[in-house]
């Protein structure tokens, strides 16, 4: 009886192991089939057209001057179209303008060398690009889906293909404008007439200005110290800090920084998050700069436009 009991237990164990093995084999077969199914990749074509096309994005808007009446004029912005993938049926990529990064999907017509590219449509700034390829340039139009939601519902594009390269040596040129035109501040000034001796007060609008320190300190190449930063203006510190992000292709939402870096020929916005691309030294420098920016003061002056 004891022997029979042991035999039954052995048979049960063998049967259990066999079932488990069969289940594992079946599961493995299913996984293999799934893997084969998932591994089917749609072939990519026209890879020579992949890349970043950057240039002017222009549309007519109402402009309010400091003096005079409002008028309609041409407003130019910078835009990047990045084509990531082309297949027989679809084109995939993204647009970047004013720091706003939007995916697009569309089609490519080989016979006319033209793209029709649609942004998702769930943002008021979304629209359709209809552009034609000519060697390394893209030209055409953009039409907003919601024409009443944007200032210029129709814009023209003139773009040139550019290659993004990170280079720690990139700096603003000494010919660059170092004035922050986006954040004027009103100051009360006093004027004394020499003849009458009468003093009057008036309000003057002034803009922040940077110093030539922004041409000397490079937070991507040198370890900055408190001594380097202690006497700098707030705008100096902001430019030195954001030069790090500009070198990595960060797309600035703030017009102040876009205006500075778009004056260069090396700034190519490719992403709205480059934090993981920064070197350890760059991260330390940015942290130090942030500490000084918090308490720094600005230098203002009056300028004509």
- pLDDT value for 22: 52
- On whether both 200 and 246 belong to a single domain, the answer is yes
- On whether both 228 and 149 belong to a single domain, the answer is no
- On whether both 250 and 290 belong to a single domain, the answer is yes
Q: What CATH number does residue 58 fall under?
A: 2.40.128.20
- On whether both 65 and 128 belong to a single domain, the answer is yes
Q: What is the pLDDT of residues 213-260, one digit of tens each?
A: 999 999 999 999 999 999 999 999 999 999 999 999 999 999 999 999
- On whether both 207 and 243 belong to a single domain, the answer is yes
- pLDDT value for 3: 44
- On whether both 138 and 209 belong to a single domain, the answer is no
- Domain for residue 35, yes or no? no
- Annotate 22-68 with DSSP letters as a single string: HHHHHHHHHHHHHHHHHT--PPP--GGG-EEEEEEEEEEEEE--SSS
Cα 84 to the chain's mean position, in Å?
A: 15
- Which residue from 167, 288, 173, 295 is spatially nearest to 220, judged by alpha carbons? 167
At residue 41, φ and ψ (nearest 5 deg) are -115, 130
- Domain for residue 14, yes or no? no
How many folded domains does the chain comprise? Answer: 2
- On whether both 243 and 139 belong to a single domain, the answer is no
Rounded Cα distance between 271 and 163, Å, is: 14
Contacts of 106 (CB under 8 A, 6+ apart): 90, 91, 115, 116, 117, 118, 129
Question: Which residues of the chain have a pLDDT value below 50?
Answer: 1-9, 11-14, 16-21, 23-28, 30-31, 33-37
- Domain for residue 261, yes or no? yes
- Domain for residue 211, yes or no? yes
- On whether both 141 and 228 belong to a single domain, the answer is no
Contacts of 284 (CB under 8 A, 6+ apart): 223
- Domain for residue 21, yes or no? no
Tokens of 246: 């500009």
State which of 162, 192, 207 marks the end of a domain. 162
- pLDDT value for 34: 45
- On whether both 215 and 293 belong to a single domain, the answer is yes
Tokens of 10: 């052995």
- pLDDT value for 38: 52
- pLDDT value for 219: 98
Q: What is the pLDDT of residues 65-95, one digit of tens each?
A: 777 888 889 999 999 999 999 999 999 999 9
State which of 133, 162, 191 marks the end of a domain. 162
- Domain for residue 1, yes or no? no
Q: In what order do the strands lie in the sheet with 179-192?
A: 179-192, 199-209, 299-301
Q: How many CB atoms lie within 10 A of CB 237?
A: 24
- On whether both 148 and 183 belong to a single domain, the answer is no
- Domain for residue 28, yes or no? no
- On whether both 155 and 236 belong to a single domain, the answer is no
Rounded Cα distance between 171 and 222, Å, is: 13
* Containing structural domain, residue 106: 47-162
- On whether both 232 and 204 belong to a single domain, the answer is yes
pTM to 2 decimals? Answer: 0.79
State which of 137, 162, 187 marks the end of a domain. 162
Rounded Cα distance between 153 and 127, Å, is: 9
C-alpha atoms less than 13 angstroms from C-alpha of 99 in its C-beta half-sphere = 13
Tokens of 5: 């009991």
- pLDDT value for 304: 58
- pLDDT value for 4: 42
- Domain for residue 296, yes or no? yes
């Amino acid at each position: 009886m004891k022997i029979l009991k042991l035999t039954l237990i052995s048979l049960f164990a063998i049967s259990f192991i066999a079932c488990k093995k069969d289940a594992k084999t079946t599961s493995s077969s299913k996984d293999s089939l799934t893997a084969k199914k998932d591994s089917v990749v749609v072939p990519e074509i026209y890879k020579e057209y992949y890349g970043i096309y950057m240039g002017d994005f222009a549309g007519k808007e109402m402009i309010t001057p400091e003096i005079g009446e409002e008028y309609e004029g041409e407003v130019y912005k910078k835009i990047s179209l990045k084509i990531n993938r082309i297949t027989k049926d679809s084109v995939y990529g993204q647009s970047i303008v004013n720091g706003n990064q939007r995916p697009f999907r569309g089609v490519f017509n080989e016979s006319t060398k033209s793209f029709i590219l649609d942004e998702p449509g769930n943002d008021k700034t979304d629209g359709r690009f209809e552009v034609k390829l000519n060697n390394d340039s893209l030209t055409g139009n953009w039409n907003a889906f919601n024409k009443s939601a944007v200032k210029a519902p129709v814009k023209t594009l003139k773009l040139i293909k550019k290659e993004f390269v990170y280079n720690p040596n990139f700096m603003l040129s000494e010919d660059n404008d170092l004035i922050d035109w986006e954040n004027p501040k009103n100051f009360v000034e006093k004027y004394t007439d020499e003849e009458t001796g009468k003093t009057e007060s008036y309000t003057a609008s002034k803009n922040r200005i940077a110093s030539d320190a922004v041409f000397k300190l490079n937070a991507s190449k040198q370890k900055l110290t408190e001594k380097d930063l202690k006497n700098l203006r707030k705008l100096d510190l902001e430019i030195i800090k954001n030069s790090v992000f500009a070198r990595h292709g960060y797309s600035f939402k703030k017009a102040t920084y876009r205006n500075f870096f778009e004056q260069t020929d090396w700034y190519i916005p490719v992403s709205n998050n480059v934090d993981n691309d920064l070197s350890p030294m760059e991260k330390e420098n940015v942290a130090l700069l942030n500490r000084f920016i918090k308490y720094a003061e600005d230098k203002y002056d009056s300028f004509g436009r």
